[in-house]
Amino acid sequence: MTEDNFVDYVSLNVRSGNGGKGSSHLRREKFIAKGGPDGGDGGKGGDIIFKGDANIWTLYQFKYKKHFKAGHGGDGGRNKRSGKKGEDLIIKVPLGTTIIEKKTDEFITEITEDNEEFVLLIGGLGGRGNSYFKSSTNRTPRYSQKGIPGKEMIITLELKVLADVGLVGFPNAGKSTLLASITSAKPKIGDYEFTTLKPNLGIVEYKDFKTFVVADIPGIIKGASSGKGLGHYFLRHVERNSILLFLISADQDVYKRFLTLREELLKFNPELLDKRFIVAISKIDLIETSKRKLFLNKVNKDFKSNSVLALSSATNLGLNTLKDKLWKVLNSTQIA
């Protein structure tokens, strides 16, 4: 998936169908004088339904089409024939899509399961035909009801990427290069900050035909949790990842950078700190071979563990070890 095709935030105007009009028909047939009212009811308007589809990864389909209307109910007819029900409009969205009412900014629902359906707007009811109003005191009613209009709403669709692993790090930490090295994804790569402006997804082909999905989350900066840069747009994608891979460049203060990233996640959503995570040092080839052991000993001492991985996407150093670790954590109930 290319960055240009990844759309994760759109506004839509949706409207359910109007109910059909009831009929005011009076029965008139040969040999049956004054047959009485026989007008049927109008049909119900169509509903607006959102449905999860695991085969869709982006909101790109809504980039140019913004208005969606369900079908209107048909009008009632003679012989008490009811009008045809309006056709429901089923709108398919990727898993992880949140629906928000734009005017009030009120959360409505989130679609997270394949084939999960949510009725957002119910179509208007059809009007009653004149046969419904016949009574002992009014044998020939000549009136019927109009159908009830459908409902209209302007909504925001917000996509939070669903992936097994979310790559979290500062701009230019090597996330896109790593994604390109361990998957078949082709993210935009450049030696400058904010090369990636939209999440990129890639599938890692592991041993014995096993696979898992990795998402390259655009670079987080200090202050992202308060909206600095594009912080809110970036951080929301972290919420739907199973585990997090903190990627920090070897030419930085690894532990200090890690604490800053954790702080931004905490401020944005404290629940993010409950996720399992792995810490990896990228661009380890920048450290002279003779000095790497001393460097890694210091980093592990800062983290008070020996679980920090070192890798280089340029030389493929440590990539298989990283895949093994990711698979182990993904399939473990223990915290990494």
Q: What percent of the chain shows pLDDT beyond 70?
A: 85
Tell me what the mean pLDDT of segment 156-173 comes to: 83
Q: What percent of the chain shows pLDDT beyond 90?
A: 52
Find out whether 11 and 154 touch, Cβ atoms under 8 Å: yes
What's the fold here for domain 1-159? Spo0b-associated Gtp-binding Protein; Chain: A, (2.70.210)
* Predicted local confidence at residue 271, as pLDDT: 81
* Predicted local confidence at residue 168, as pLDDT: 86
Tell me what the mean pLDDT of segment 120-128 comes to: 97
What's the fold here for domain 163-330? Rossmann fold (3.40.50)
User: Measured between alpha carbons, how far is residue 23 from residues 6, 19, 137, 142, 145 in Å?
Assistant: 49, 13, 20, 9, 8
What pLDDT, in 10s, does the model give residues 12-61? 999 999 999 999 998 877 766 667 899 999 999 999 999 999 888 788 88
Element (H, E) at 67: strand 67-69
Least confident residue range of 2-11, 28-37, 245-254, 270-279 = 2-11
Delimit the domains of the chain by residue range.
Answer: 1-159, 163-330
Tell me what the mean pLDDT of segment 227-254 comes to: 73
